[in-house]
Structure 1
Amino acid sequence: MADNTQTEKEFILANPEREISLLGAQDQFVSLLEEGLNVTVNPFGTTIKVAGEPFQVEKTITILQKMDKLVEEGIQLNSADVVSAMKMADRGTLDYFLDLYTETLIKDAKGRPVRVKNYGQRQYIDAIKHNDVTFGVGPAGTGKTYLAVVMAIAALKRGDVEKIILTRPAVEAGESLGFLPGDLKDKVDPYLRPIYDALYAILGAEHTNRLMERGVIEIAPLAYMRGRTLDGAFVILDEAQNTTNAQMKMFLTRLGFGSKMIVNGDVTQIDLPRNAKSGLIQATKILKGVNHIEFVEFSADDVVRHPVVAAIINAYEKLENN
């Protein structure tokens, strides 16, 4: 028989001025905690009452304590932070939650610090720092593209590299490139939108466009990489699941001295023609264990978008596994 014992505990705010920072504007974090942990959270002035199953109530109180500690240190929380805390609590890794905030990777265009949001992202950043080639494999929404661009810009600012090259295969995802207006760049630009979005978020549109005009940042379809050797560059290949085996080999062998490569993709979203094999799948099989190459695998638990996105990914995975 299920244990339906209900309990109520109180979390007392040491500083009433921290309430909005802790619970979000219009208590938006409260609804996240209630839905994610199946508890009821009632704020009364400096007291936050949490009711539900004892284990879930304890978990919620611990999460509030960790979040309050961050707020006390002047860190501005958002919904993604709350979702990360809940996921870490479910995994039993909440003790490491505060560690995620010890390092600022870079400041974005609005001056806000960019930090890792979960343990999966922390592993990914560590892999990029310590390897020449890093593969980030996993579902959309895990921050692979954004963090890769963050690390590229940080390396450029430090003077570790002279240029950033961002590329992806121009593969049609059910749409036809040929019918789009303009030249090849015009046709491919919409496919590179996530990369532009990440650059604009970190550098601002004006600064990004200036660096692109000077050739310091280059965004190009994968076909443009053939025959080049990329020295002193930070190179990111996005949507790598849509490369063929030959394209992946071509890309990886462009690696030059003083360069870093990041290869990102999601093997559940392959848009290649049916008879073509994904270069990303082959690479994960043949390059594991090769020195200076590391693979980081993300799961739905690492998704830092709206909590429903993780649930959608899990539902599709379940269908495919069945």
Structure 2
Amino acid sequence: MRIRFWGTRGSIPVALTSVDIRDKLALALLEASGRRFDSYEEAHDFASSELDFSVTNTFGGHTPCVEIEADSEEYFVCDMGSGARPFGVHVLAKQARRPATVNVFMSHVHWDHIMGFPFFGPAYVPNTKIRIHGCHDVLEQAFRLQQAAPCFPVDFSQLAANIEFVKLEPDKPNLVSGLTVIPHLQLHSGDSYGYRFEKDGKSVVYSTDSEHKLENRAEAEGFAAFFKEADVVIFDAMYALAEAISVKADWGHSSNIVGVELCQMARAKHLVLFHHEPANDDATLESLLKEARRFEELTRSDHALKVSASYDGLELDV
């Protein structure tokens, strides 16, 4: 399987400003002070090897949309945040005018997770099949409502694709075009659901918009079982631990440190921090990643956990 991250922020899309770009350039020039580069390649090597990710790159600003490629002619994607627009461009380019079949798995229907669907190009292509899977009774209502007047100029009924809504049952395995999919209830306002995807001995867990209270041992053990030995766990790490247990307790999101603890309990292989706080800049997100990696090192037993932070455009092979 291959994972492509088209949107990794939470709550609302954000973009780099001119001030952000100027600051990155100033920091890069400061780090390069006294150096001479005779070619683009030399400058590129310096930026890639000696500068922090937060200086030379960005974690991006689209809201959740994560593709899981599973050796199938069909597409599999989690959530339809604003990242659904570039994901749709990718699908249309790959299909080369051939109609696609897209399987969507919805964690929940808050706006940041559905707002990209009206801009999802394949939805406007005749003979395209879109199956929207989820556990919420209001799934179809939410998608139709956001395109109803006066909120959007194109009504849901005007979309050209064949769109089907598929109700799933929590903790029940479903075989979807060769991919085993298991939804699991999570603590979030209005409920959200994580998904475990399995195929050919590989497993990927998508768990966003979920608050974890580790003092509840049964709850923690339940999620450790859901994450058990997963190759990749995509995890809601919107807050630092101090925020998650104080001023933002009961806001429905988790932290980088809790992600490490749960994945250690589960003996998962790779934790990917996700659903980044829109108020956090690239430097802050990089510091949260370093903090999680350091915590993993300090608490490691006989099992090493790889820790990464997702960004728009990241691809992982499983």
- TM-score, normalising length: structure 2: 0.35
Richer in helix (by share)? 1
Richer in strand (by share)? 2
Q: Which has the larger radius of gyration?
A: 1
- TM-score, normalising length: structure 1: 0.35
